[in-house]
């Protein structure tokens, strides 16, 4: 059995970045920017008023000074003339500051009488002017690769970039395997249960910008599994769920080999998730996840998500680990790295009392996987532990 770290390294070895495509900016949120974006303009493109008030010459900015209003500048409508000594222009936020003016006195600081203003007693020191290009300048870059946030998309819009190059969404084929499984909404027979793992995993992968699709459930037979692999063969990544242990009906490994899978590893020293396998089948990498619902989701967080992020051109790195103070004592840990369902609240982490890998209700109640290293020593309340947010 290999460690989680070694297994993830080998998963990264069998995947490579997929291609890119252009998308319109309004569809860019959450996608991975493939090439640095280059600003096509300065922002603001002119020195702009940051307040409503009067544009004046700074030399005139003395209490009691009387200035004549010679025009108006509003957002989208500049004042064309000069501002000479003794003059000012009525100005509004976002308007270009007229030539000659280098200060905006806020309207609260003046007394107006017709087209004359008198500056009040407390004139601010600041200019209330945003210099041309103070946000970004033409040629400035938004670095890639990065997952585009709402702020990034707003920035790209301001840079006047209507289409951008992003990584393709990896096409991930999700195959549930098992004679006992039916789809949600179907009428299960007396010995049947509902396939849940593909739905949990699809949601996890949708969230990171992949394009997962749920394939028909494969039966525990070589014919059915071969048909599933055929259906999945054009995917960027094939993910099977279940049938990966050593029972008489666990045929996924053997069926995958018959369909041409070159295995990279089988079994990882982790709990839950031990019977994980990985390899390449034709052009596509394949991950065979264990069937127990919590095991499948834990492997989703620990292996699948990092693999897909790397396929989208992001750094090959494990799920981000955070730290919290343990809320209870814990006895000696087991021989495998343990991903315990837990609740993190206000910097403190509390493992759930039942860690059975079939319990989706416990997983749904958790927001973290508390990580205990293999062969962990006793832990006492208050110690700092690592966890992954889920
Ligand atoms: P297996 O790995 O096929 O031995 O499955 C282990 C356990 O997980 C069994 O109790 C299966 O019924 C269950 N299981 C397998 N696949 C799924 C699935 N897609 N959704 C829900 N439970 C599953
Ligand atoms: Mg099974």
DSSP 227-270: HHHHHHTTSSEEEEES--SSSTT--HHHHHHHTTEEEEEE-BSE
Supply the pLDDT for residue 326: 98
- Which residues lie with the beta carbon below 6 Å from any ligand 1 atom? 176, 178, 180-181, 193, 195-198, 241-245, 247, 250, 290-293
Residue 100 backbone class (left: φ over 0; alpha: ψ -120 to 50; beta: rest): left
Q: What's the pLDDT band for 168 if we cut at 50, 70, 90?
A: very high
Q: How many helices (H) and strands (E) does the chain have?
A: 8, 28
Closest ligand to C-alpha of residue 221 is: 2
Token pair of 293, please? 């619902």
Supply the pLDDT for residue 134: 98
Which protein residue's CA is at the shortest distance from atom 15 of ligand 1? Answer: 291
Sign of the Cα pseudo-torsion (23, 29, 34, 35, in order)? positive
Mean pLDDT value of segment 368-379: 98
Dihedral angle of Cα 122, 126, 132, 137, to the nearest 10 degrees:
-150
What's the gap in Å between 312 CA and the centre of ligand 1? 29
What's the gap in Å between 344 CA and the centre of ligand 2? 32
What's the gap in Å between 176 CA and the centre of ligand 1? 8
Closest ligand to C-alpha of residue 294 is: 1
Supply the pLDDT for residue 141: 98
Supply the pLDDT for residue 51: 98
Atom of ligand 1 nearest to the CA of 292: 8
Percent of the chain past pLDDT 70, that is, above it, reads 100
Supply the pLDDT for residue 353: 97
Ligand 1 site-directed mutation target among 189, 195, 225, 242, most atoms within 8 Å of CB: 242
Residue 281 to residue 216: CA distance in whole angstroms: 19
Supply the pLDDT for residue 390: 98
Contact 44, 133 (CB under 8 A): yes
Residue 314 to residue 25: CA distance in whole angstroms: 20
Average pLDDT across the chain, whole number = 97
Residue 144 to residue 135: CA distance in whole angstroms: 19
Supply the pLDDT for residue 238: 98
Contact 117, 63 (CB under 8 A): no
Closest ligand to C-alpha of residue 241 is: 1
Mean pLDDT value of segment 326-352: 98
Supply the pLDDT for residue 29: 96
Mean pLDDT value of segment 294-305: 98
Closest by CA position to 342, among listed 372, 367, 312:
367
Ligand 1 site-directed mutation target among 275, 290, 291, most atoms within 8 Å of CB: 291
**DSSP H helical ranges for 284-359:** 293-299, 305-311
Longest dimension (CA), the chain: 96
Q: What's the pLDDT band for 362 if we cut at 50, 70, 90?
A: very high
Q: Which residue has the tokens 């034709």?
A: 282
What's the gap in Å between 59 CA and the centre of ligand 2? 83
Give pTM, 2 decimals: 0.92
Token pair of 250, please? 């666990």
Supply the pLDDT for residue 192: 98
What's the gap in Å between 257 CA and the centre of ligand 1? 21
In a 13 Å sphere around the CA of 223, the CA atoms on its Cβ side amount to 1
Closest by CA position to 83, among listed 129, 132, 122, 125:
129
Supply the pLDDT for residue 298: 98
Closest ligand to C-alpha of residue 245 is: 1
Ligand 1 site-directed mutation target among 200, 247, 292, most atoms within 8 Å of CB: 292
Q: What's the pLDDT band for 110 if we cut at 50, 70, 90?
A: very high
Residue 186 to residue 141: CA distance in whole angstroms: 51
Mean pLDDT value of segment 213-237: 98
Sign of the Cα pseudo-torsion (216, 217, 219, 222, in order)? positive
Percent of the chain past pLDDT 90, that is, above it, reads 99
């Amino acid at each position: 059995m290999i460690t989680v770290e070694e297994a993830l390294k080998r998963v990264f070895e069998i995947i490579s970045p997929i291609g890119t495509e252009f998308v319109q900016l309004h569809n860019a949120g959450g996608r991975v920017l493939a090439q640095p974006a280059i600003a096509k303009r300065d922002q603001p493109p002119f020195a702009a008023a940051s307040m409503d008030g009067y544009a004046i010459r700074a030399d005139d900015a003395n209490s009691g000074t009387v200035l004549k209003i010679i025009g108006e500048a509003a957002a989208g409508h500049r004042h064309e003339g000069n501002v000479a000594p003794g003059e000012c222009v009525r100005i509004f936020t976002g308007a270009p500051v007229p030539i000659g003016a280098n200060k905006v006195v806020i309207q609260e600081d003046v007394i107006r009488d017709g087209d004359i203003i008198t500056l009040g007693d407390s004139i601010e020191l600041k200019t209330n002017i945003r210099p041309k290009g103070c946000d970004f300048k033409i040629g400035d870059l938004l670095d890639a690769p990065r997952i585009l946030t709402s702020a990034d998309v707003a920035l790209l819009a301001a840079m006047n970039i209507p289409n951008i190059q992003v990584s393709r969404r990896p096409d991930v084929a999700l195959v549930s395997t098992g004679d006992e499984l039916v789809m949600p909404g179907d009428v299960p027979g007396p010995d049947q249960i509902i396939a849940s793992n593909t739905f949990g995993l699809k949601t996890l992968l949708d969230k990171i910008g992949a394009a997962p699709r749920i394939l028909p459930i494969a039966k525990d037979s070589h014919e059915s599994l071969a048909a599933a692999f055929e259906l999945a063969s054009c995917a960027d990544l094939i993910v099977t769920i279940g049938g990966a242990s050593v029972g008489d009906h666990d045929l996924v490994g053997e069926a995958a080999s018959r369909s041409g899978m070159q295995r990279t590893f089988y079994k990882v020293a982790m709990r839950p998730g031990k019977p994980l396998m990985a390899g390449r089948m034709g052009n596509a990498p394949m991950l065979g996840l264990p069937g127990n619902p919590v095991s499948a989701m834990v492997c989703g967080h620990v292996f699948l998500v990092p693999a897909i992020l790397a396929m989208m051109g992001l750094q090959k790195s494990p799920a981000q680990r955070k730290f919290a103070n343990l809320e209870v004592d814990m006895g000696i840990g087991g021989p495998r790295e343990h991903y315990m369902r837990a609740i993190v609240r206000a910097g403190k982490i509390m493992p759930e009392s039942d860690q059975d890998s079939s319990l989706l209700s416990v997983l749904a109640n958790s927001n973290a996987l508390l990580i205990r290293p293999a062969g962990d020593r006793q832990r006492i309340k208050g110690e700092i532990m690592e966890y992954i947010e889920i």
